[in-house]
Amino acid sequence: MHTRTWLWWLVAAAAIATLAPHPLYHILLMLAVTYVFAARRDDRPLARSFALFARAGAIIWLGYVIFAVVTVGGPRGATVLVALPAVQLPVWLGGIVLGGPITAEALAWGATRGLGLWALLLIFGAFNALVDHHRLLRLAPRSLFHAGLAVTIAIAFAPGLVRSIQTITAAQRARGHRFGSLRSWWALAGPLLAGSLERALQLAEALEARGYGRTLTATPDTGRMLMLLAGLSSLAGALIGWLWAGPAAFPLMAPLAGAGLLLTGWAARQLSRNVPRTTYRRERWRRHDTIACIAAGIALIAVAALRLLEPAALVYYPFPTVSIPAFDLRVGAAIMLLAVPALPLRAPLPRRARRIVADRRAARRAAAQQGAFAD
């Protein structure tokens, strides 16, 4: 699939996971994401990083549950399961209380919040395992090629680390080394650090040899760079003001954010003209990409509309008494639209292949007609 399709799918899935803090919807979203990964995965080493994200999400979920149960930061609920000894920390450590009564509401609260983080990690893990990072780098604006390279390297860190650990572990075991105590893992840390430094040097030499970072003009365009920084500062100021003051600051922050967005787009477009870029193999937009983008857009619009019109249908709050979470079929159907990329739709043939198939069919029809005339 096209890289832009995966980017739009990532935005839609992450937005739905944020707009619907509900355990049933998060579980359904995790199942849909896992199904997409299982249907679209290949034999590349990047596919192995999905398991790493899944395990990290499980550990975070367990830690979130433990933290929500052990610490007291608000209402504890009415259904007490176990009463533990309570210890209050000093004021300079926050003054929180460790222990106390463990309630079913606290367990449900921690499990629900941790499940949301687990769902987000699975979404980013599937995107990281399925997308081509080199094509992702090509989508970055030419004026922001440094940021695009940094983001691409950061995304490729997890699969590269997994691949290096597997290679070094297999090599050490082939030499007769056994990993058991803490000291035995130094045989993994040393080669891993050396290999990371060597790959960094090789990447720097490869970028230098290919002329990475060179522009058409010798002198930097300081004025447009200042415009870009001013636009980004306006966007950051609008976001901080909205988070600080809340919805009451929207009439003031909306024009500031709009001006910053326009200024950032104009400056980035002007700076992109000084950065040359060549593409050796262009991606093709196919029918499956269109269907997947439309499905993800419908899912996002439906969930956002329900969040505005019926917010209680998307939010689960277990206090003051825990209850079984309700399930809305409309939200479930919208989330299932995110599994459209996993459907085995038949991709159209290229133009040259269609011409060859048409010529063969015409030749077979002509041969059949000649046989009929001979009879």
Q: Predicted confidence band at 5 (pLDDT cuts at 50, 70, 90)?
A: very high
pLDDT tens digits, one per residue of 308-345? 899 888 999 888 888 889 999 999 999 999 999 998 86
User: What does the alpha-carbon distance between residue 228 and residue 234 come to, in Å, rounded to a whole number?
Assistant: 10
Q: What is the pLDDT of residue 24?
A: 95
Interval 171-191 mean pLDDT: 82
> Helices (H), strands (E): how many in the chain?
13, 5
Q: Predicted confidence band at 219 (pLDDT cuts at 50, 70, 90)?
A: low
pLDDT at residue 372 tops 70: no
pLDDT at residue 354 tops 70: no
Q: Predicted confidence band at 302 (pLDDT cuts at 50, 70, 90)?
A: very high
Choice among 167-181, 201-215, 306-320 with the minimum mean pLDDT:
201-215
Q: What is the pLDDT of residue 103?
A: 84
More confident call, 118 vs 41: 118
Q: Predicted confidence band at 171 (pLDDT cuts at 50, 70, 90)?
A: confident
Q: What is the pLDDT of residue 156?
A: 66
Q: What is the pLDDT of residue 115?
A: 94
Interval 267-288 mean pLDDT: 76
pLDDT at residue 53 tops 70: yes
User: What does the alpha-carbon distance between residue 264 and residue 229 come to, in Å, rounded to a whole number?
Assistant: 8
User: DSSP letters along 23-87, please?
Assistant: HHHHHHHHHHHHHHHHHH--SSGGGGHHHHHHHHHHHHHHHHHHHHHHEE-S---S-EEEEPPPE
Q: Predicted confidence band at 299 (pLDDT cuts at 50, 70, 90)?
A: very high
User: What does the alpha-carbon distance between residue 365 and residue 375 come to, in Å, rounded to a whole number?
Assistant: 15
pLDDT at residue 250 tops 70: yes
Q: Predicted confidence band at 278 (pLDDT cuts at 50, 70, 90)?
A: low
Interval 192-197 mean pLDDT: 83
Q: Predicted confidence band at 128 (pLDDT cuts at 50, 70, 90)?
A: confident
User: What does the alpha-carbon distance between residue 213 and residue 270 come to, in Å, rounded to a whole number?
Assistant: 16
